[in-house]
Chain A
Amino acid sequence: MAAILPASQIQLVGPLHGARTRTSHTEEPGWENVLQQLQEIRALTDDWDGQGAEAPTVANVNWAIAWVEQMRQYPGAIVPMRAVPGVGGELYLEWRCDDLRVDAEIAAPARVEWTLSESGKANRHWVTEGGLPYFLCAN
């Protein structure tokens, strides 16, 4: 696995493959919380915000759920802080660690548009594609 996001606190590791090790890590409540948020996002309909938002597509939400389910199998994977509905059919997973923030936008299944923002530094953007997604891991 390759770390493509060198940072002091976290790294982006992937793709997800190879041996998985189920540990008590998978039982952390944060995983269930974010999966519950994704289920709630899947139930949204158009104009869910009363301001003309398009609901996240079922395909995007289902892919995000499958991705999170994969992530939780890996020791060291960081639980997303929250799942957020977008206004144009997309949705987001967000991680925060001190002044570091990582957002994963899912606007199409198997395609993730990443944004890394850190205080005092220019934001970074990149895209990962394919059926084998990445995950954030604590250093």
Chain B
Amino acid sequence: MPDDSDNLQSDEALVSNDEFVLRRIHKNHCSSDVPSNFHFAAFRPTRDDEDGISVFRERIISAAEVASLGRKPEEYFVVRLSVAALAQLGLSVVPDVDAKAPAGHAFIPELGLTKYQRNKQSLKDVLLELARMAANSIVHVPRVPQ
């Protein structure tokens, strides 16, 4: 019979539509004139994002912890995005199964680098919508001025 830790693990293996995820955004991607004006480049995959861009599950890790995990912890906004809203954009959230990954780490696989490069225009539309959603979803602000 499975114990409680097994139940927790199986819960964490699935991301439900009523969850929220957290995304770290560097302050250079936010306008200093309009504080909630994020540029869509904040959601563009980097060369490290072949599996998809990184997000963190809010039920597992806090926004402050997400910021502190970055290599420039005082320079990040953290925004909170609904998994259901992501699904409406055709995006899913897949937990990172790497045992060395930070707690709550997950990917949005539809925004992997190769997929982005192959389908740049339509995915740029998705990034624009993510930037709009992020503007109303700030849950952590940088400690250093922009």
Contacts and interface: CB of A to CB of B under 8 A. Distances in A.
Given A48-B28, A52-B48, A115-B128, A84 B39 contact: yes
Contact of A49 (B26, B31, B47, B54): B26
Interface residues of A, number: 24
Contacts of B28: 48-49, 84-85
Interface in A78-98: 81-82, 84-88, 90, 92, 94
Given A51-B70, A53-B46, A85 B41 contact: yes
14 contacts: A48-B28, A49-B28, A49-B72, A51-B46, A51-B70, A53-B26, A85-B41, A87-B41, A87-B44, A88-B47, A92-B39, A115-B124, A117-B128, A123-B128
A29 interface: no
Interface in B8-50: 24, 26, 28-29, 31, 33, 39-41, 44-49
Contacts of A49: 26, 28-29, 72, 75
Given A48-B28, A51-B71, A123-B125, A84 B46 contact: no
Interface string A43-57: 000011111111000
B72 A50 contact: yes
B23 to A, nearest CB: 10
Given A51-B71, A84-B28, 8 more contacts: A49-B28, A51-B46, A52-B47, A82-B33, A85-B41, A87-B45, A88-B44, A103-B39
B121 interface: yes
Contacts of A52: 46-49
Contacts of A115: 124, 128
Determine chain B's interface SS by DSSP, over half rule.
Answer: mixed
Contacts of A47: 71
A103 B46 contact: no
Given A51-B24, A51-B70, A54-B47, A92 B31 contact: no
Contacts of B44: 86-88
A42 B112 CA distance: 26
A87 B71 contact: no
B125 A92 contact: no
B75 A50 contact: yes
A125 B46 contact: no
B122 to A, nearest CB: 9
Contacts of A117: 128
Contacts of A48: 26, 28
A48 B29 CA distance: 12
A92 B128 CA distance: 13
Contacts of B75: 49-50
A12 to B, nearest CB: 17
